[in-house]
Structure 1
Amino acid sequence: MAPPTPGSAAQSARPAVFLHVGAAKSGTTFLQHALWHNRHRLREHGVLYPGSDLAAHVRAAFDLRRTFFREASDPATRGAWRDLVAEARDWPGTVIISQELFAPARPKWIRQAMADLDFADVHVIFTVRDLGRQIPAHWQEDVKNRFTTPFGEFVTALRRQDWRAYESARLFWGLQDPVGVLGRWGAHLPPERVHVVTLPPPGAPRDLLWKRFCKATGLVPDAYDLSRTFGNPSLGLSETQFLLRLNEALGGRLGWHVYNEDVKLFLAQHVLAGRPHPVKIELPREHVRWATERAIETAEALRAAGYDVVGDLYDLMPAPASGPALGRAVAPSPDEPRWAEMADVGVDAIAALLRRVQERRERGDAVPGAEIPVRDQIDMLRAGSADLLDTTGRLVQDAAPLVERAKRNAKERYPAAGRLRGAYRRIQGRPGRPDADTRTR
């Protein structure tokens, strides 16, 4: 069954909510920016992309799952899922929610989500890319989030029968396995309301993923502007190796919020991801056969489930590894140190961080009063606090007689109120009442 077209008669009886729950590194950033920057056009076509900012769906996913990044918390996530649902409930037409961090939700939180969205027909969408590209992309994303697991160790954990015993493997399959994710999210949905969107192979037109996503959601792709969208580019091999060693050197001593702001968002995604001509991280030849066998099993399971597939399940087959048969040199091992290139990355990283320190210092110097020594500023705050306490105390003293006068006026104008209060006190203290003693203890 095709998804309802926004504004169609088929949709008018009951609204539809499309939950795009993953996978990470499968074009989700590109799609989310396309939806966000076209949110006003979407409204004109009867479609809501809710939230007050781009991060609203991130906060909602964390809130629904009652979690956050390791050793960190964010009060802004509390109630974020409820707010998103309330906005969706008030919208009369189609709603699209998109965030890959929904993927690893446990069944109890998924049941909660479905109960909260029971005012609509819920559809689940999963965008999926072949393991040959997805494994390297996910590994470097882990490195951007403080992990220090070498690539070989990472893939070995993915291939183990007891992969649940390894944190990196649990995180990967919880986010990336379409069979597992859709088995949870689509457990109580008709299969025609579960949509698998395959990522096009390398070299395909840039807008093909958007067209496939639009087909799954019933949007008209040409009605929207893609000029302001961008992806989430992966780091090159040398950049990832440098960041991995930086994480080892830091040893977890930076709190998450500092690391996220200064290392992940600024250094990794702004500086290192923008370096020219990065060496691509590839899945080594020895893992391609296993990845292909896993892809075949995945495609068969998705086909057997009867889900709506947009694209081609053959897109999930990994491309052959680089090598002489393809006319290229063998791809470099992700774990073989590239010291010269890492040194070059380090120079760029140090220069960018020093410029950032200088810019912050200049902004701090421009703040009024910045020239006053910190000790003097603290003394001024103490003096100001003392004055405020003194003023507040006098206000309380001045206000107290007003309260007493109000009580006297009430007694004089309404004598019955005083008699009632006295009678109530006598009743409360009457012997024999079962609760008289307990109230006075």
Structure 2
Amino acid sequence: MTGTPALPAGTTLVHIGPYKTGTTAMQGALWEARPALAEYGIVYPGDAAHEIDASMAVALGYVYAGKSLDVYRQRWFDLVAEMRAARPRIGVLSSEVYCEATDDGARAVLDALGPQTHVVITVRPIVRLLGSQWQQYTQNIPVPPYDEWLRVILGQDSEGGEPESGTITPSFWRRHRHDRLVERWVGLAGADRVSVVVVDDRDHRGLPAAFEGLLGLPDGLLRPPADKTNRSLTYPEALVMQELVGRTSAAPWSSADHARFVRFGAARGLQAAPPDPRAERLLTPAWAVDRALEIGAGMAERIGASGARVIGDLALLSDRALAPAEGENAPVGAIDPGAAAALAVGIISKLTGVHPRPEHRDLAGPVERAAWSRHRAVAELWEADAARDGARGAAAREIARRARRRIRG
């Protein structure tokens, strides 16, 4: 990626993802390098590597259940103000949720950042995204088995064999029709303000080097941190997660409860635990690999014709050498005890983290409210014990004071 022309001073670089194309890695690299970036006039604002709630609020017009849209929408504009106040050579924002922005959301982002905004889109071969995105969906919503999901997504069951979204994970093609994503943002911002970075998973320095070139940074300054909390699941782990999500997607579980205790509790607990080295990884059927490579070739052609600047080789989008492991997974007959324990640890960590404040959060779901009620009952017992102990201590101190007075007398 060396030789990438740097963006001009005064530019705001907006990395819009999409998902599973190195966004987390680049956000981590930018966050870790903030002191060094400042020396080169680069500002990456915020209090976290990814200000996802603020990005969702302005781009999508909603936030996760249990959070305030108005608060996080204002948070996004505060980030923009923070960036402008620093008067950087180049400001940087990064969030994969921008790839799903509504028309109003996309315009709001571009209008707020001004005419010197440059949009960066990172793309990977679709064939490498199928398994990771199915796994991601299994952590959030009920989805069919992998083979059945593939047949719907890749259009095997549709008339004409066109890729389908339908009612099964419709966000997949909103995120990963990379050609249409590029065309859309070229239409919004202009071809001269859009760069497409093609990610080659065999070259771990390729993506950071592309950003270093765009930002005018020395080679090696951006180093994505090792992220063990976002690893791929083994096939048995994915099935356990799929079963749990299926059981927690109806009452008494609300969307707020599901997000807090399952998505960011159980799933994170599972990913933080080391996988069973003997467990089978997710395999993609050969027919699906062939179809995904065919779709990738068509995407490459349209991206090349879009007028956007391309960094990397579009031929990678249909390169069979980058395809994942092919085959059919063997049936799983029993739940992995280690995976079940990791899920439980993740949920318990979130349950114990419910704060026993005098009142539960207004946006708390039924499960969180039940946990709060238990924590609050224990807290009230402790408070009552402390009050009794305090009263006893005060009485003892008064008796001792009077005794000292009589002794002195």
Q: What TM-score does the superposition give when structure 2 sets the normalisation length?
A: 0.75
Q: Is 2:144 aligned against 1:133?
A: no
Q: Where in structure 2 are the equivalents of 1:9-28 lying within 5 Å?
A: 10-11=8-9, 15-28=10-23
Tell me, yes or no, if the aligned pair for 1:214 and 1:220 is still in contact at 8 Å: yes
Match of 1:189 in 2: 189
User: Corresponding residue for 1:288?
Assistant: 289
Distance 2:68 2:30 in 1: 25
Give 1:159 shift: 2.5
Q: Deviations over 1:54-95 (max 9, x none)?
A: 3424422333321234x5543442312222222233332201
Q: Which has the higher mean CA deviation after the structures are superposed, 182-191 or 171-180?
A: 182-191
Once residues 205 and 290 of structure 1 are traced to their aligned partners in structure 2, the CA distance between those partners, rounded to angstroms, is 25
Which letter maps to 2:309?
A: D
Q: How does 1:283-362 map to 2 (within 5 A)?
A: 283-317=284-318, 319=320, 331-333=327-329, 337-340=331-334, 342-349=335-342, 352=345, 356=349
The alpha-carbon distance between structure 1 residues 314 and 185, as it changes in their structure 2 partners (threshold 3 A), is same
Kindly tell me: are residues 56 and 206 of structure 1, through their superposed partners in 2, closer, same or farther at Cα, counting changes over 3 Å? Answer: same
Q: Once structures 1 and 2 are overlaid, which stretch shifts more, 255-264 or 221-230?
A: 221-230
Identity of aligned residues (%): 22
Match of 1:151 in 2: 146
2:205 matched residue in structure 1: 207
Whole-angstrom distance in 2 between the partners of 1:360 and 1:56: 21
Q: Shift of residue 217 of structure 1? A: 3.7
1:99 to 95, 108, 121: 95
TM-aligned CA deviation for residue 27 of structure 1: 1.4
Match of 2:72 in 1: 77
Residue by residue, what CA displacement relative to the aligned partner does 1:255-280 show, whole Å, maximum 9, x if unpaired? 33433333223322233453332533
1:343 counterpart letter in structure 2: D
| 1:275 matched to 2:274 | yes
SS at match of 1:290: helix
Q: How does 1:15-94 map to 2 (within 5 A)?
A: 15-69=10-64, 73-75=67-69, 76-92=71-87, 93-94=89-90
Kindly provide the amino acid, as one letter, of the partner of residue 287 in structure 1.
Answer: A
User: In structure 2, how many angstroms separate the alpha carbons of the residues matched to 1:248 and 1:231?
Assistant: 22
User: What do you get for the CA RMSD once the two structures are aligned?
Assistant: 3.5
Do the aligned partners of 1:238 and 1:345 also contact (CA within 8 Å) in 2? no
Task: Give the 3-state SS of the residue equivalent to 2:91 in structure 1.
Answer: strand
The alignment covers a number of residue pairs equal to: 356
Q: Distance in 2 between matches of 1:61 and 1:354?
A: 25
Q: What's 1:248 paired with?
A: 246
Partner Cα distance (2:269, 2:304) in 1: 40
Instruction: Give how far 1:140 is off.
Output: 0.7
- Residue 336 of structure 2 aligns to a residue whose secondary structure is helix
Going from structure 1 to structure 2, the CA distance change for 1:267 and 1:91 (only over 3 Å counts) comes to: same
Gaps of 5+ in 1: 381-441
- Residues 206-241 of structure 1, C-alpha deviation per residue, up to 9 Å, x if partnerless? 333211232344333323455566673222211111
Is 1:232 aligned to 2:230, yes or no?
Answer: yes
| Kept after mapping to 1: 8 A contact 2:123/2:197 | yes
Residue 6 of structure 2 aligns to a residue in which SS?
Answer: coil
**Aligned partner of residue 230 in structure 2, secondary structure:** coil
Mean alpha-carbon deviation: is it higher for 254-263 or for 96-105?
254-263
The correspondence for 2:109, drawn from 113, 135, 153, is 113
Q: Which amino acid aligns with 1:209?
A: L
Q: Between 38-47 and 274-283, report the one with greater CA deviation.
A: 274-283
Contact in 2 for aligned 1:145/1:264 (Cα 8 Å) = yes
Q: CA–CA distance in 1 between the matches of 2:208 and 2:349?
A: 36
Q: Please tell me the residue identity of whatever aligns with 1:349.
A: A
Q: Distance in 1 between matches of 2:86 and 2:322?
A: 48
SS in 1 for 2:110: helix
Deviation at 1:2, TM superposition (A): 5.6
- Report the Cα distance in structure 2 between the residues aligned to 1:354 and 1:78, rounded to whole angstroms: 29
Q: Structure 1 length normalisation: TM-score?
A: 0.70
**Aligned equivalent of 2:402:** none
